[in-house]
Amino acid sequence: MALHVAQTVAVLRERKGCAEPALVPVDTCIAIVKEMGGNSLKFFPMGGLKVEDELRSVAEACARNEFILEPTGGITLENFDAILKICLDAAESSIHDWIEENYDVSPDSYHKTIRAGSATKEDCEVLSVEEGTPLLEVVQVGYLDDGRPFEYVETKFPGDLSVYQTVDSDSIPV
């Protein structure tokens, strides 16, 4: 069950008999939605990246509270990657802390393999490209400090939209 943040504020206003909208911290809003049986927040209307700082705050609060975030409104091909990155960055920092707190291990290293490939029939459907289109493929395996793998991610990008860059420097610690 998803509940719009605006709906939650309206429910609070209704219950307290307030004429003006209430300002509710996101963590409190999540607690209220959980109490009402919800499992996600629909952040709407975002207007794409017009409210980037607010999106980041809501994403971080959802990650802290192990709650689903549904960003909605104004998401386009041009801003999709940035919006997704904000949400994933919030979740990534949280999941590592959660692993450490709950399993007495911590993420230690990530091994990436980057290679050229060609689009399969399945890739064509997902990426809207022709079969055989050049792809940049990235496979990442995350390992815990005890050596066990805990994460496997395989991503594919159309070759014409991909840039791979490295920095070799004696001044940057490795």
Q: What is the pTM of this model?
A: 0.48
SS3 percent helix, strand, coil of the chain, rounded to 5, is: 40, 25, 35
H helices of 70-148, in order, are 80-103, 121-127
pLDDT in tens, 17-35: 556 666 778 888 888 888 8
**Res 56 pLDDT > 70:** yes
pLDDT in tens, 89-126: 887 765 677 777 777 788 888 899 999 999 999 888 88
Higher local confidence (pLDDT), 69 or 20 = 69
Distance of CA 116 to the CA centre of its chain: 26
Domain boundary assignment for the chain: 1-104, 106-161
pLDDT confidence of 48, banded at 50, 70, 90? confident
Share of the chain above pLDDT 70, in %: 82
CATH topology (fold) of 106-161: Chorismate lyase (3.40.1410)
Residues 6 or more apart whose CB falls under 8 angstroms from that of 39 comprise 1, 2, 67, 68
Residue 38 CA to residue 28 CA, distance in Å, equals 13
| DSSP string for 54-90 | HHHHHHHHHHHTT-EEEE-SS--TTTHHHHHHHHHHH
1-104 homologous superfamily: Aldolase class I (3.20.20.70)
- In terms of Cα–Cα distance, which of 57, 103, 53, 50 is closest to 73? 50
Q: What is the pLDDT of residue 145?
A: 86
